[in-house]
Structure 1
Amino acid sequence: MTGKTHIVGGIAASLAFAQISNYDPVILVGAGVIGALIPDICHGGSTIGRKFPFVSKMVHILFGHRSFTHSLLFLLLMGVLLNSLVINESVVAGVLVGIISHFILDMATKNGIKLLYPLKVTVRLPLTTRTGGAIEYLVFATLSLLSVYFGYGAFAGYF
């Protein structure tokens, strides 16, 4: 999936999570967007990879694309790291929700992800599409609509 689809996926997932949690939806969304971009640090052409080219290159050399940074092991390590360093629980939850949304969206692509890294098993959803294709545009539009829907619920009593 492209960066913009991951961003709107992070927004939709964070707002949906705000519906069932007591976390601040504004912080959840901001952190969710960041979390939705983090796994692609392994790809130099990604939104986050272009912002941090040295880190991106090093991660790519060490692990390749869609392996360690797209795994449950990475999610667990990020959870431990964030819980150790970040005081605000809304930030921690948002980043983790964003990472999970990234995983799900990339599992919907033909290449899938190495969710069980270091095992070399590729995990993908039964229905897949190619990155940047017409189906991804429909996914983006659907996630945009879901963001509005969940956003209304999350912010209805906020202001």
Structure 2
Amino acid sequence: MTGKTHIMGGIAATTVMATFTDYDPAWFIFAGAIGGLIPDICHGGSKIGRKFPLLSKLINTLFGHRTFTHSLLFLLLVGFLLSLITSNRSLIIGVVIGMISHFLLDSMTKQGIKLLYPVNITVRFPFTTKTGGAVENLLLLGLTLLTIYFGKDIAIMDSLFFVQ
């Protein structure tokens, strides 16, 4: 999947969840968007890989693409490290939810992901799609519409500017 789909996947997942939780929607949805990009740090051509080229190259050299950074082990590691850095639960859980959305989306491609890394088992849906293809564009549209539908009642501006 492309970066824009991963961003929208993280935003959609956290927007839907924000309607059912008491997480700060501004932080939660922002973190979901970031979390939607983090697993692709292993790919130098990705949005996040281009922002951190040396880190991306190092991770790709050590692990390759869609292995460690697309695993439950990496998900737990990121969640743990974030909990050491901040106590903002909206930020921590938002990143984790965004990463999970990334895993789900990449599981819809033929390459799949190594969710159980270091165990060499590829996880993918029984139906797959081509990255950047028409099906991905339809999925992106669906994620956008889902975000609009669930986001219409979320008071992000109130959260950003502390208006009551």
**Aligning the two structures, in what range does the TM-score lie when normalised by the shorter sequence?**
over 0.9
| 1:6 Cα deviation after fit | 0.3
Structure 2 match to 1:55 = 55
Instruction: Verify: 1:108 aligned to 2:111, yes or no.
Output: no
| 1:17 Cα deviation after fit | 1.2
Q: Give the TM-score of the pair, scaled to structure 2.
A: 0.93
| 1:157 Cα deviation after fit | 10
Structure 2 match to 1:141 = 141
| 1:156 Cα deviation after fit | 8.9
Structure 1 match to 2:73 = 73
| 1:19 Cα deviation after fit | 1.6
Q: Which one is further off, 23-32 or 149-158?
A: 149-158
> CA 1:117/1:156 → structure 2, altered by over 3 Å: closer, same or farther?
closer
Gaps spanning 5+ residues in structure 2: where?
none
2:52 counterpart letter in structure 1: F
Instruction: Verify: 1:11 aligned to 2:37, yes or no.
Output: no
SS at match of 1:153: coil
2:102 counterpart letter in structure 1: H
Q: How many residue pairs are counted as aligned between the two chains?
A: 159
Structure 2 match to 1:98 = 98
- Distance in 2 between residues matched to 1:20 and 1:104, nearest whole Å: 21
Structure 2 match to 1:83 = 83
| 1:26 Cα deviation after fit | 0.8
1:65 counterpart letter in structure 2: H
Instruction: Verify: 1:121 aligned to 2:105, yes or no.
Output: no
Gaps spanning 5+ residues in structure 1: where?
none
Task: Assess if the C-alpha contact under 8 Å between 2:31 and 2:92 holds in 1.
Answer: yes
Q: Give the TM-score of the pair, scaled to structure 1.
A: 0.96
Identity of matched residues, %: 59
